[in-house]
Structure 1
């Protein structure tokens, strides 16, 4: 009963909440393994963290993804998950689960590649003994995506209203400033890799170019992992005629796209909150398709 209840509650979560739950669960389990069984950090994370050496990476290529599910401490995971929750609420009001996962994991991969390159290109980092863990690159990708897609949207930060682009610029500047003076330089560069991916993806999408289209099918498969299996009822399948040459269907498609473009233009000029409820609902449904 308990197991069934947990599965039911998990199934009801949004895709972002599921990602947060998985990250927290892995953090707790790995922490308990080290505290109760005396397992070393290397034993728990060794095959999942992203190593800085290309030779080690080739042996464990899955680490370009798995590193993002492990964190170095409570503060590390706490702030990552807070930022992910904040950015995801805005993102999922605009787009569906598939694009969300595409942006998130492309950010993870891009951040990981920035880390690998930085520790094998910059002389000051060559002798550092470190590995990359944490969801920061994926989180930053989602955050910078929304900050770049609707930059003039007002958001409440403690006692003040600020533009989303101010939020994105702040986090990028924090990472840039800390590179010369703080440790974890590779981690900071990984954050910037995720930020670059989020920015470029959003700006290209506004120009009608979906740079993550190649990964959409992968994202769709990932979404299916988080959903309970349902046996589809047997039904009679009828062969439908192609709509390619249907003038009515083409007109409706073009009219819908014009409406989407008008709403996006309104967001860019006046912010997301300027939309009516009908416009928000229309954009949300369009993002799900």
Structure 2
């Protein structure tokens, strides 16, 4: 047990999110097995932590708009979500911080939950139905669309067929599939996916500085404010703190140039030195 705690404490934020999802899923299985002995159709975790389409139920469990993002309906549900989270989460942390990954996951989950509640209480298709929402998909879509908005021309290699596809094309395919499935059996879930995707797109496309703290600057999404950018003051005899600031400014300038190059020509266009520099800077965040 002590080894597990040490491993978890040393894990990256991406790994911690995946571990928590797996741990909760295993706990769900154990509780479902036990409650099944009493013929209970909904286990304790789903009753208290899944997001219900009923506004009355949501008011009594406001935390469920976040907690549902760590629950899953079955093995393949969590397998797909964790796989997608791992693939796009690793790419996300090459350009953003570990803290921002968590913020995107949580806020994407909240946006997805809001879309679910609005849709299921607005459209006639859902009226009279009692639905619950579970799954990390909204958070995953937030991360996926966020990074695709930032580096749309990044190319991913599809295994086996050795085919390369641009990130924006892959994400566009997923978005279209969700749009044409809104009136299907999992329509509420698809609305949640789109809610998470919308958050990822809006934040990355509207944020004036990718280093902004997400929770502190939500109110600034829709207003680009150049005053949020850092200002570096030069001096003939800079203090150690200013020297450090100047060094960070030079590094940021080089990072921006590399990211622009990736956006235009893809990651493979970088030189070995540029890739190593980007990797080192990512590990320092």
Q: Give the TM bin, normalised by the shorter chain.
A: 0.7 to 0.9
Note if contact 1:103-1:212 (Cα within 8 Å) is conserved in structure 2: no
Note if contact 1:154-1:161 (Cα within 8 Å) is conserved in structure 2: yes
Note if contact 2:153-2:168 (Cα within 8 Å) is conserved in structure 1: yes
- Give the equivalent residue in structure 2 for 1:162: 165
**2:255 pairs with 1:260:** yes
C-alpha distance in 2 between matches for 1:189 and 1:36: 32
- How many residues are matched? 259
Q: CA 1:81–1:254 in structure 2 vs 1: closer, same or farther (change >3 Å)?
A: closer
Note if contact 1:201-1:211 (Cα within 8 Å) is conserved in structure 2: no
Q: Give the gaps of 5 or more residues in structure 2.
A: 218-230
What is the deviation of 1:142?
0.8
C-alpha distance in 2 between matches for 1:254 and 1:69: 38
TM-score by length of 2: 0.82
Note if contact 2:92-2:143 (Cα within 8 Å) is conserved in structure 1: yes
Q: Deviations over 1:243-267 (max 9, x none)?
A: 9865343654543332232122111
Partner-residue secondary structure (3-state), 1:214: coil
Note if contact 1:201-1:212 (Cα within 8 Å) is conserved in structure 2: no
Q: Give the gaps of 5 or more residues in structure 1.
A: 217-242
Say which of 165, 169, 179 aligns to 1:176: 179
Note if contact 1:77-1:134 (Cα within 8 Å) is conserved in structure 2: yes
Query: What's the RMSD between the two structures over aligned residues?
Result: 2.3
What is the deviation of 1:66?
0.4
Q: CA 1:271–1:204 in structure 2 vs 1: closer, same or farther (change >3 Å)?
A: farther
Q: Residues 120-199 of structure 1 correspond to what in structure 2 (within 5 A)?
A: 120-158=121-159, 159=161, 160-180=163-183, 182-199=184-201
C-alpha distance in 2 between matches for 1:190 and 1:259: 37
Partner-residue secondary structure (3-state), 1:197: helix
What is the deviation of 1:124?
1.8
Note if contact 1:204-1:211 (Cα within 8 Å) is conserved in structure 2: no
Which one has more relative contact order, counting CA pairs under 8 Å at least 6 apart?
A: 1
- Give the equivalent residue in structure 2 for 1:202: 204
- Give the equivalent residue in structure 2 for 1:23: 21
